[in-house]
């Protein structure tokens, strides 16, 4: 299970990186290397940033609890990719959960949304608007597939808005408090995904 998940995770990262890499080749390679261009670099955090990351952890914790409550008591019949993948697998699924949480989902999504989309749009429409766009797209990526499967408009709204709020906070903190690094957001995002997946085993 772990090897399969690891291979699938690496393939997904490569797929998510194709368009950013092509754009970098055309527009960014003379400015900086590909990884730094995407925000895969050491954070430039100072002590005040730690306070803001504390707030971000609080936001993610609230998101985690609210999402669990919504999925358990309001939309208990909705499909859930994480639960479906690891349900009933026990502790043996933990290595696969780590690959899924940190590589397949968190790294791919942070690279695409807070890396490529946010950074690419910031120079054109400004950080505030770019952050709103990437957050909305991030939220829609979570809510729209559920809506397509269930046609449940309430689920679409809630499961788009909640992740969008988290995406906005992560984007703002990456750019304003960590010198454009996506690494702290990636770690936080992956950790929340691990807790979510562990609830299903």
Q: 138 with 169: CB under 8 angstroms?
A: no
What per-residue confidence (pLDDT) applies to 12?
95
**What is the token pair recorded at 115?**
């890396």
Instruction: Read off the pLDDT of residues 170-181 as tens digits, 9 standing for 90 and up.
Output: 999 899 888 999
Q: 138 with 5: CB under 8 angstroms?
A: no
* CA gap 66, 51 in Å, rounded: 23
Domain ranges of the chain: 47-198
What per-residue confidence (pLDDT) applies to 47?
56
| Count of residues in the chain | 201
Residues near 150 by Cβ (< 8 Å), separated by ≥ 6? 78, 79
What per-residue confidence (pLDDT) applies to 150?
86
Instruction: Read off the pLDDT of residues 105-151 as tens digits, 9 standing for 90 and up.
Output: 999 999 999 999 999 999 999 999 999 999 999 999 999 998 998 89
Q: Pseudo-torsion of CA 126, 131, 133, 135, nearest 10°?
A: 180
* CA gap 79, 81 in Å, rounded: 7
DSSP 8-state assignment for residue 70 = I
Is 70 exceeded by the pLDDT of residue 99? yes
Is 90 exceeded by the pLDDT of residue 67? no
How does the average pLDDT of the chain come out, rounded? 89
Q: 159 with 143: CB under 8 angstroms?
A: yes
**What is the token pair recorded at 92?**
């043996």
């Amino acid at each position: 299970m772990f090897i399969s998940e690891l291979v699938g995770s690496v393939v997904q990262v490569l797929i998510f990186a194709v368009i950013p890499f092509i754009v970098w080749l055309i527009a960014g390679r003379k400015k900086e290397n590909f990884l730094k261009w995407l925000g895969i670099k050491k954070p430039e955090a100072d002590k005040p940033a730690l306070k803001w990351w504390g707030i971000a952890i609080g936001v993610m914790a609230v998101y985690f609890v609210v999402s669990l409550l919504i999925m358990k008591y309001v939309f208990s019949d909705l499909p859930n990719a994480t639960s479906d993948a690891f349900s009933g697998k026990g502790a043996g699924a933990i290595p696969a959960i780590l690959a899924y949480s940190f590589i397949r989902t968190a790294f791919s999504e942070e690279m695409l949304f807070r890396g490529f989309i946010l950074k690419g749009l910031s120079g054109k429409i400004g950080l505030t608007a770019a952050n709103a766009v990437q957050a909305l797209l991030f939220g829609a990526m979570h809510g729209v597939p559920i809506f397509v499967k269930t046609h449940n408009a309430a689920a679409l709204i809630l499961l788009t808005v909640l992740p969008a709020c988290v995406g906005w906070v992560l984007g703002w903190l990456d750019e304003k408090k960590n010198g454009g690094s996506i690494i702290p957001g990636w770690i936080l995002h992956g950790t929340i995904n691990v807790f979510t997946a562990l609830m299903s085993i």
